[in-house]
Amino acid sequence: GFGEELPLALGHNEAAYAENRRVELVYDANN
């Protein structure tokens, strides 16, 4: 399932994790 794949990808891909953090920061700034 998606819920299982997402944490796995983030856990093994530092770049994906970094991008995810940037997206969250931008989202917070826009709100």
pLDDT digits (tens, 9 = 90+) for 9-30: 555 567 766 777 777 777 777 7
pTM for the whole structure: 0.26
As a whole number of Å, the CA-based R_g of the chain is: 11
What is the reported pLDDT for 26?
73
- Outline where the chain has alpha helix (H): 2-12, 14-30
- Residue type for position 12: H
What is the reported pLDDT for 9?
54
What is the reported pLDDT for 18?
73
CA distance 7 to 16: 11
What is the reported pLDDT for 19?
74
Q: Please state at what angle helix 2-12 crosses helix 14-30, rounded to 10 degrees.
A: 110
Burial environment of residue 10 by CB neighbours within 10 A (0 to 12, 13 to 18, 19 or more): middle
